[in-house]
Amino acid sequence: MVEFSPAVIDTIIRAAALLGAGFAMIAGIGPGIGQGYAAGKAVESVARDPEARGNIITTMLLGQAVAESTGIYSLVIAIVLIFTI
């Protein structure tokens, strides 16, 4: 059984927290795909019906904002891991 000094344990905890922050941001994939999909569909709709452009863009932005939530949660978790530990 190896005994670690408190400084080493602190360093390990900090390293684990920073790694965890990096892993948390993997969640950024989800909003990326979701927002891109919404934007692509909006482009298709504007191409089909250019008159409804304003409504489509408003709806797209609202949907993208909701899709972004999960990414923002992971960002907040990453910030907490980096700056409080």
Partner 1 sequence: MNPGPKILFYLFGKDFLPITDTLIVGWVSVIIILIGAKYLTTSLTIRPNGKQNVAEFIIEIIYKQIEPMLPGEGWRFLPFIATIFIYVGVGNLIGVVPGVTNPTGDLNTTLGLALVVFVVTQYEGMREYGVWGYIKSFAEPVIFLLPINIIGELAKPISHSFRLFGNIVGGGIIITLIYQAAPFLIPVPLHAWFGIFVGAIQALIFGMVAIAYISVAKS
24, 77 contact by CB (below 8 A): yes
- 16 contacts partner 1 (rule: CB under 8 A): no
- 68 contacts partner 1 (rule: CB under 8 A): yes
- 11 contacts partner 1 (rule: CB under 8 A): no
Query: Considering only residues 12, 16, 33, 65, which one is a binding residue for partner 1 as defined by CB under 8 A?
Result: 65
- 27 contacts partner 1 (rule: CB under 8 A): no
Q: How far is CA 41 from CA 4, 11, 14, 29, 62, in A?
A: 56, 47, 43, 18, 14
Give which of 13, 11, 18 is closest to 80, Cα–Cα: 18
Residues forming contacts to partner 1 in the complex (CB under 8 A) are 55, 58, 61-62, 65-66, 68-69, 72-73, 75-76, 79, 83
